[in-house]
Amino acid sequence: MGAVETVQASFARCDSPEFYDSIYDTFLGKSDEVRSLFANTEFKRQKVLLRSTVTIMVRFQLPDPRAQNVFESVGKTHNRQGYNIGPALYGLWLESLLESIAKHDPEASTETESAWREYLKPGIDLILAAY
């Protein structure tokens, strides 16, 4: 099974409200900077946005225009002129996502983790390019 199929199958096994709770709980525990950035966040809405973004990231690969639009939009809102989410925080976010996958995907493995890393890298790189 290739990265696309592995990621899509893993996502289907994880996709639940508890999964998104886990991502944010893990992410917020990564650093004081993350907690500070999310201090006034309404998480119910934020988790809906996260689910939408991750769903699009999983379903549509670059250069699909739907993925391109999402990554560019996130890049614009998260750049220096927007929320000013520094590049290092994307690594923490990715680690939080991967830790949550390991908790919520009963079939998760090192191969699953590698597939997610490979699959998400181009989109994360596009977001970072907007910083």
User: Over its length of 131 residues, how does the chain's per-residue pLDDT go in tens digits?
Assistant: 899 999 999 999 999 999 999 999 999 999 999 999 999 999 999 999 999 989 988 988 878 898 899 899 999 999 999 999 999 999 999 999 999 999 999 999 999 999 999 999 999 999 999 99
Please tell me the predicted confidence (pLDDT) of residue 60: 81
Token pair in block for residue 81: 């002129």
**What confidence score (pLDDT) does residue 62 get?**
78
Cβ atoms 75, 126 nearer than 8 A: yes
- H-assigned helices in 32-130: 32-37, 43-59, 65-78, 87-104, 110-129
**The tokens of 97 are what?**
């996502």
